[in-house]
Amino acid sequence: MGLFQEFHSSPIGGHTGVLKTRTAMCSRFYWYGMSVDIVNWVSHVWELIGIDLTGPLPKTSSGFQYIMTATDYFSKWVEAFPLKSKSAAEVAHQLCSIIYRHGCPKRILSDQGREFVNELNSRLCSLMKIDRSVTAAYHPQTNGLDEKTNDNIKRYVLFVCNISFAFKTLSLLWFFYVHM
């Protein structure tokens, strides 16, 4: 499993398809049934994804204030997308970008928010033959992997914001020190 993670699911592997993953692995390793194992691994990736929103966060200069995360339950690969609002259209647009890059998942798991459960996303999933699952109300543990991802993102954003604030404060103090 570690090899598959390294050659397919890691940032270095870049979620390439069967052919590129097989080429990369065959240049270093070989075992009987290797091609079948690679096909099985790659076909399970992006089979079930959890999606969720984090925000509202402090608005950026570009107007973004939400982050939509999509987590593959098989490989644990996470993708995050900045959103200006939590509208159904923006969520559907980001779902399409995931489908363009990774193919159609078999199932999408989300909470019952209006940005996920609506006519636009229902039609998109119906056209692409994607099953939809929603968590029970007030039970976010059902989508625990994506919830944990959001907690990590929130911690990171607060950390970066605090560093940015501290840096600005230190710069301001340095300015007053130099000019006094």
pLDDT tens figures, 28-78: 888 898 888 878 777 777 888 999 888 888 888 888 889 898 988 888 888
Task: Write the CB contacts of 72 (distance below 8 Å, at least 6 apart in sequence).
Answer: 45, 46, 47, 48, 49, 78, 102
In a shared domain, residues 35 and 76? no
In a shared domain, residues 121 and 161? yes
More confident residue, 15 or 68: 68
In a shared domain, residues 80 and 133? yes
Kindly report the CATH number assigned to the domain that includes residue 126. 3.30.420.10
Q: Are 48 and 106 in contact (CB under 8 A)?
A: yes
More confident residue, 141 or 155: 155
Please tell me the distance from the alpha carbon of residue 178 to that of residue 76, in angstroms, as a whole number.
49
In three state form, how does the secondary structure of 41-53 look?
Answer: HHHHCCCEEEEEE
Please give the pLDDT value at position 139: 62
What 3-state class would DSSP assign to 1? Answer: coil
Domain that holds residue 40: 1-45
In a shared domain, residues 37 and 94? no
Please give the pLDDT value at position 172: 45
Please tell me the distance from the alpha carbon of residue 126 to that of residue 105, in angstroms, as a whole number.
12
In a shared domain, residues 68 and 153? yes
Q: Using alpha carbons only, what angle is made at residue 29 by residues 25 and 31, rounded to the nearest 5 degrees?
A: 110
Q: Rounded mean pLDDT of the chain?
A: 78
Split into its structural domains, the chain has a count of 2
Average pLDDT over residues 135-140: 68
In a shared domain, residues 165 and 127? yes
- What pTM does this model have? 0.70
pLDDT band at 178 (very low <50, low <70, confident <90, very high): very low
Please tell me the distance from the alpha carbon of residue 24 to that of residue 19, in angstroms, as a whole number.
9
Q: Are 37 and 43 in contact (CB under 8 A)?
A: no
Please give the pLDDT value at position 99: 86
Please tell me the distance from the alpha carbon of residue 115 to that of residue 125, in angstroms, as a whole number.
14
More confident residue, 14 or 172: 14
Write the pLDDT tens digit of every residue in 153-175.
Answer: 777 777 776 655 545 544 444 44
In a shared domain, residues 143 and 172? yes
In a shared domain, residues 23 and 110? no
Please give the pLDDT value at position 140: 61
In a shared domain, residues 72 and 39? no
Write the pLDDT tens digit of every residue in 94-115.
Answer: 999 988 888 888 899 988 889 9
Average pLDDT over residues 83-91: 94
In a shared domain, residues 37 and 60? no
Q: Are 83 and 94 in contact (CB under 8 A)?
A: yes
In a shared domain, residues 84 and 165? yes
In a shared domain, residues 145 and 79? yes
